[in-house]
Amino acid sequence: MAKKTILTADRPTGKLHIGHYLGSLKNRVALQNSGDYNTFIMIADVQAMTDNARNPEKIRNSLIEVALDYLAVGIDPAKSTILVQSQIPALNELTMYFLDLVTVSRLERNPTVKSEIQQKAFGQSIPAGFLVYPVSETADITAFKADTVPVGDDQEPMMEQAREIVRTFNTTYNTDVLVEPQGYFPPKGQGRLPGLDGNAKMSKSLNNAIYLSDSADELRQKVMSMYTDPGHIHVSDPGKVEGNMVFTYLDIFDPDQAHVAELKAEYQAGGLGDVKIKRYLNEVLENEFGPIRARREEFAKDIPAVYEMLKQGSIKANEVAEQTLQEVRNAIGLNYFN
């Protein structure tokens, strides 16, 4: 049976946080290690430029940070092709062809794009590159003929638009060159990790994230600052576990769920203080992320080797994308001199 092909991507606008780990990185490692997939993992620096064009240094600096995060969580360049988007010229040409098959109004209706435009407060000054993000993403996916794309739940509209573009292309040019992608979603309840402050989304811009690269001290400080139950003033006060980020995180990260249930009962009855429960959560998170931090520190000792890994992955990926581009040109009828 032929292997399926996976394409995943992250924008290099900073280090990755544990929400990324929960929502996609764990899935990627598991799929990579299954041996059932050809895996391409992209650092999407061109897409990151769409709203950071005037600050390219931020992208350059973040590139290596994301690569270190990948290696630290267990993404293996011997099993997965890790590439840099800007080093694959075919993606730009594919994007241009796909732009002719989608309308501006359809792009403006994409719920994911609408949400991100609102979040970034562009107003009427939306960068054109940002608006056409779904088209660029479709080029990324189809260049490697990826049929499986691990994404968060909020990315399904992007997957649907990619499928629309693929169907339109194949129908318009009477071909089956492009493959329709399907989203591969995290287990129920693990699609998005709330922020430390109780906000529904963990993000750098909201300053409510724990990063994979955080030191043990930084992790502890952030855990101790987490939002709990504002009405739980004294240890003896009955506390609420709903909306309490400490228990939300324990529900997700603590393998001993029987013990979590006991802690919830004690907290709700009164007799369990926030400091004690936060210290316990810190132990749980340290057990999960301490080894990742240690591996990251080891890889960071040889940055030239990390760049070489990215270079070799990009060379390999470029060969695949260029082959797809030639097939697309043939389908359209643009390979005049062949």
CA angle 181/184/187 to nearest 5° reads 165
pLDDT score recorded for residue 123: 84
Domains of the chain (ranges; CATH) run 4-193+303-332 (3.40.50.620), 216-297 (1.10.240.10)
- The pTM (predicted TM-score) of the whole model is 0.91
Query: Given this model, what pLDDT does residue 53 score?
Result: 93
The answer to whether 134 and 113 have CB atoms below 8 angstroms apart is: yes
Angle among Cα 283, 186, 62 to the nearest 5 degrees reads 70
Contacts of 47 (CB under 8 A, 6+ apart): 9, 11, 85, 129, 133, 136, 137
Name the token pair of 221: 């400080």
**pLDDT for 210:** 97
Tens-binned pLDDT, residue by residue, of the chain (338 aa): 578 999 999 999 999 999 999 878 888 899 999 999 999 999 999 999 998 999 999 999 999 999 999 999 999 999 999 999 999 999 999 999 999 999 999 999 999 888 888 888 888 889 999 999 999 999 999 999 999 998 877 788 899 999 999 999 999 999 999 999 998 887 665 557 899 999 888 888 788 999 999 999 999 999 999 999 999 999 999 999 999 999 999 999 999 999 999 999 999 999 999 999 999 999 999 999 999 999 999 999 999 999 999 999 999 999 999 999 999 999 999 999 97
Residue where the block lists tokens 């990579």: 32
Q: How large is the C-alpha radius of gyration of the chain? A: 22
The answer to whether 16 and 66 have CB atoms below 8 angstroms apart is yes
Cα separations in angstroms, 73 against 24, 103, 165, 211, 281 = 11, 39, 33, 12, 20
What's the rounded Cα separation, in Å, for the pair 164 and 138? Answer: 10
| Helix axes of 274-299 and 257-269: crossing angle, nearest 10 degrees | 150
pLDDT of residue 117: 87
